[in-house]
Structure 1
Amino acid sequence: MTIDPSALGNGGHQAPVWTSTVVGHHRLRHDLAVIRLIGEFVPFTAGQSVEVQVPQQPGMRRRLSPALPPSLDGKLEFHVRTVPGGWCSGSIVADTRTGDEWRIGAPRGSFAIEPSGPEVVMIAGGTGLAPMRAQILDLARKPEQPRTYLFVGGRSPRDLYAADMLTLLADELPWLTVVPVVDSTSDPNWADEWYEHSRVDIGFAEDDLLHGNLADVVSSHGAFDSHQVLVCGSPAMVGATVDRLVESGTPLRNIQYEGA
């Protein structure tokens, strides 16, 4: 651990920064990559975000949510999608290389499940899946788990970049149900070379997919008035989903939400 002289924490103290080295850069879509790192232990909690600095953009900081819970052996995983006009996200997706050293700091947030609480409804759009996955894996370590429903949304089946991982996870964890939702049941008519290179035989069957807008599909299941509800995705997705949940009778106090 080092101290970042440019960042001051509470009380004027210099904020700690941890270093981690890229050991895997997996480009899954033209605009999306999964980055795996190993380094110093970072004391965050599952569901929080951390601040990252990458060598390709040394003067910039970006907040990302780890897709794994804290690991004493220093393993980290991030799911990064290119933001239109976003220099840092685009550089991470396209230019990250094995051996790059990242600086990790400033864990933040209270986006979390209460393991002893009621049933859980998770709603993830795009890379909003990352903090949900971290919390699911963290729950799996607990003696008991609440029944958990994960709605994961994409524009088309091809956009569900973690279909293989989620299928295996749902098979392994009897308390977890994964519900994939797509705006369109047909993929775009242009080829994505990264998708073609990363395709596997495990994933969602066509009959598994629910068709429609994610916010509408989730809210159509009625009011989640006795559930823990977590929402994560783009600001537009989060806003629309929270509005529809409240309109359909879910108390706002039951909902936690974060942007991805």
Structure 2
Amino acid sequence: MSTLARLLKESWTCVEDRGDTLAANFYARVFLADPQLRELFPVTMDVQRSRLLEAIVQAVQTVDDPDAFAAYLTSLGRDHRKFHARPEHYDVVGNCLIAALTEHVGAAWGPEFEQAWRDAYGVIAATMVAGAAEAADLPAYWHAEVIHHERHGADLAQFTVRPLDPVPYRAGQYVSLETSHQPRLWRSYSVANAPRADGTLDFHARAIGATGVSSALVRKLQPGDMIRIGAPMGSMLLDLSSARDMVFVAGGTGLAPLRALIEQLAETNRSRAAYLFFGVRHSEDLYDVPTLNALTAQHPWLSFTPVLSEQTDSAHPHGLVGEVCAAAGPWPEHDFYVAGSAAMVRATRARLTEAGVPFDRIRYDAITTG
């Protein structure tokens, strides 16, 4: 671990259990320093505060991997164009972040920590600004019309949108969505299909609670509504250079990017076997099963295993999807793709590593998809 990474992680451990108050302090400083920036953010800041923490943690975790660090920040810079972020805003944000960290770390804060964060933030800001500049010829976001919406129970929906202009994404990536039902509040969702000739995009959303973007997408969105789509992000892409067989492990709506990868694979695959494990709590939570069954019927190289974590009176395997997948091995020469909540991805990666799967063969993007 480099000295910079060590200092960043040491200082972050001083505040990670008080992350929400740190984020509130940070945003208060930003809006005081430049009141016009308040107009770029939603009225309710609870979700936005958690987004700051996710971005900080992601940056700190990848600082020792220059390629991943640069790729993440470049795509984040492109994505922040939807907030109308300008280069001069980054100086305000940096100064306020350092001030908030100084206050919350307290007596442990010293010149080494401050210099490490200033150095790291300088690289973060420069990389994000460069990423935004590289995308100057692309829209900051895309407008899209909802053309299909289907509910599954009380809290889950699949819907399809038709962008007015093509969205240049790759199978496995995610985008942020904004709806008029929750203006200025964006949330990330994986695209659930490989690119199509007609440009349409499928999404899966699960509502947690009665409010928020996911709730609006599940309970309020209707055909004919317009949404906005942010820049594509994510690095969980199909490795077409590999000849190894593949295992896809999905938790809940983490099924979405894996279905997109399987669709892409189906366009060219002739020899690689693929195994999909789809974990939910109860049998009624299983959705998109007709599509998955159709894919397995059409492609003999694909197998599909539903896994139920809380229901035992079923013919489907019972347990956590990562545990069931690991027990179905051994998988010594397979490529893995894991998608779901951050907690599900962490647990699955740990279990697969314990089962002997090399860490560098596990691809993932740990985003909470609603």
| TM, length-normalised to structure 1 | 0.85
- Give the Cα–Cα distance (whole angstroms) in 1 for the partners of residues 261 and 278 of structure 2: 15
* Aligned counterpart for 2:280 among listed residues 151, 154, 170: 154
- Residues 17-37 of structure 1 show CA distances to partners (whole Å, capped at 9, x for unaligned) of 221100111111211000111
- Give the Cα–Cα distance (whole angstroms) in 2 for the partners of residues 108 and 211 of structure 1: 33
Structure number having the greater helix percentage = 2
Structure 2 residue 324 is the aligned partner of structure 1 residue 217: yes
* Aligned counterpart for 1:6 among listed residues 74, 84, 99: 84
* Aligned counterpart for 1:30 among listed residues 124, 146, 154: 154
Distance 1:86 1:240, change over 3 A: farther
* Aligned counterpart for 2:170 among listed residues 45, 51, 56: 45
2:224 aligned partner, one-letter code:
G
Corresponding residue for residue 113 of structure 2:
none
Corresponding residue for residue 255 of structure 1:
362
- SS of residue matched to 1:106: coil
- Residues 182-203 of structure 1 show CA distances to partners (whole Å, capped at 9, x for unaligned) of 124468xxxxxxxxxxxxxxxx
**Larger mean Cα displacement after TM superposition, 49-58 or 141-150:** 141-150
- Residues 129-154 of structure 1 show CA distances to partners (whole Å, capped at 9, x for unaligned) of 00001111111112535211000011
- Give the Cα–Cα distance (whole angstroms) in 1 for the partners of residues 344 and 83 of structure 2: 36
1:79 aligned partner, one-letter code:
H
CA contact (8 A) 2:172 2:190 kept: yes
- SS of residue matched to 2:249: strand
Corresponding residue for residue 343 of structure 2:
236
- SS of residue matched to 1:112: coil
- Give the Cα–Cα distance (whole angstroms) in 2 for the partners of residues 105 and 212 of structure 1: 36
- SS of residue matched to 1:210: coil
TM-aligned CA deviation for residue 85 of structure 1: 6.9
1:233 aligned partner, one-letter code:
G
Structure 2 residue 302 is the aligned partner of structure 1 residue 176: yes
- Give the Cα–Cα distance (whole angstroms) in 1 for the partners of residues 270 and 211 of structure 2: 41
CA contact (8 A) 2:247 2:335 kept: yes
CA contact (8 A) 1:57 1:88 kept: yes
- Give the Cα–Cα distance (whole angstroms) in 1 for the partners of residues 324 and 269 of structure 2: 32
- Residues 150-204 of structure 1 show CA distances to partners (whole Å, capped at 9, x for unaligned) of 00011111111122221111111111111111124468xxxxxxxxxxxxxxxxx
CA contact (8 A) 1:153 1:180 kept: yes
Which structure has more relative contact order (CA 8 Å, sep 6+)? It is 1
Structure 2 residue 253 is the aligned partner of structure 1 residue 127: yes
Distance 1:100 1:211, change over 3 A: same
- Residues 67-121 of structure 1 show CA distances to partners (whole Å, capped at 9, x for unaligned) of 1112231211100011347611111111101111111121111102223421110
Corresponding residue for residue 93 of structure 1:
218
Corresponding residue for residue 18 of structure 1:
142
Which consecutive unaligned segments of at least 5 residues does structure 1 have? 188-205
- SS of residue matched to 1:38: strand
Structure 2 residue 197 is the aligned partner of structure 1 residue 63: no
Which consecutive unaligned segments of at least 5 residues does structure 2 have? 1-80, 87-127
Larger radius of gyration between Structure 1 and Structure 2: 2
CA contact (8 A) 2:178 2:213 kept: no
Corresponding residue for residue 116 of structure 2:
none
Q: Percent identity?
A: 37
Distance 1:249 1:223, change over 3 A: farther
Corresponding residue for residue 109 of structure 1:
234
- Residues 195-243 of structure 1 show CA distances to partners (whole Å, capped at 9, x for unaligned) of xxxxxxxxxxx54x11222121111124423111011111221111111
- When the two chains are superposed, the root-mean-square deviation of aligned CA atoms in Å is 2.0
Structure number having the greater strand percentage = 1
